[in-house]
Structure 1
């Protein structure tokens, strides 16, 4: 999802075939792709590993997940979930132009993370000025939890194939879980 819109399908089959949870493995595998040219990944594998341990009932939420991926980047996507893979994509810079509607939907988290933002007169986009730390926090405390919401939705269906409840379910899931986690996040990561 990027700017509030569902994007094209990703290479989930690549991960599905390559990144299986090995029998007896106790921790969720985290795979790191080298970022595309001009992209940078705001989240490290160590940070992601620490973060998932902060999630209440992580073992239950992780049921059915095959792996976590720090992706190479995408112009149209911050992260995605498909078939038991959650990916957080690299960013093309930390100055992020957001459509006004997307900005308004996420203003509360930007304010909580103290991300400066501005809108030039007559501009259609609001520019959000992230740092690596605030981009990491946004990726973990919102994007990852949003994609985990899609996974949770999928696992609640009988066939465990689709996430029928859509974007609003994932947004609500992320917001509710984040409210339980902010204090632990700031203790573990600061800002």
Structure 2
């Protein structure tokens, strides 16, 4: 075999050696602003599963009043992997709803339950309450969990987006924090929930 000097760079341009490979990041809706809203569904983490399909998200956003206006600046809706203590998240134009745990029965924090009790009743979620211990136990079904993900988690994260879009720099993902997003979700839920029942059915 004859020996030769392998060329490791394609040449020099303007005094700079050019790289052999293309180091540019492949276009992604997370790194490049897409021309239109993208719904991305990631593989669930171990012990989690997706209750939502892309078409469920598409059907749901059609129920939200003034969606075209609210969605300005929203680039991606991510049906994410799933992880402990995280139902959803928002970060600079990307709204995430996490995959659902395979565990459908678990204990709730008392303060969280008191803040969400009326909503859980409206979607028909079954909760057992041990008053002395203040340790409510919820029994989810696929239907009630799906209603919770869309009619509360999604709307909560949309509240963070609305909060960001009202800031001058658009850099902060939620300057007014969780209280604003939670109030935003409950306000929109009052309008959207009956539409949700009509489109998706009453949870069982």
Q: Which of 53, 58, 83 in structure 2 is aligned with 1:74?
A: 83
1:37 matched residue in structure 2: 46
Consecutive unaligned residues of structure 2, counting only runs of 5 or more, are 1-27
Q: Which of 30, 33, 46 in structure 2 is aligned with 1:16?
A: 30
How many residues in Structure 1 have an aligned counterpart in Structure 2? 173
Q: Classify the secondary structure of the residue corresponding to 1:80.
A: strand
1:139 matched residue in structure 2: 149
2:201 matched residue in structure 1: 190
Consecutive unaligned residues of structure 1, counting only runs of 5 or more, are 1-13
1:165 matched residue in structure 2: 176
Q: CA–CA distance in 1 between the matches of 2:193 and 2:132?
A: 35
What RMSD, in angstroms, separates the aligned Cα atoms of the two structures?
1.7
Check the 8 A contact 1:100/1:124 in 2, yes or no: yes
Check the 8 A contact 1:54/1:184 in 2, yes or no: yes
State which structure, 1 or 2, has the greater radius of gyration over its C-alpha atoms. Answer: 2
Check the 8 A contact 1:15/1:85 in 2, yes or no: no
The 5-angstrom pairing of residues 26-175 of structure 1 reads 28-92=37-101, 93-120=103-130, 123=133, 125-162=135-172, 163-175=174-186
Instruction: Give the drift of 1:20.
Output: 3.8
Instruction: Give the drift of 1:122.
Output: 5.9
Query: Which has more helix, going by share of residues?
Result: 1
Specify whether residues 61 and 91 from structure 1 end up closer, same or farther in structure 2 by C-alpha distance, changes over 3 A only: same
TM-score (norm 1): 0.85
Check the 8 A contact 1:16/1:83 in 2, yes or no: no
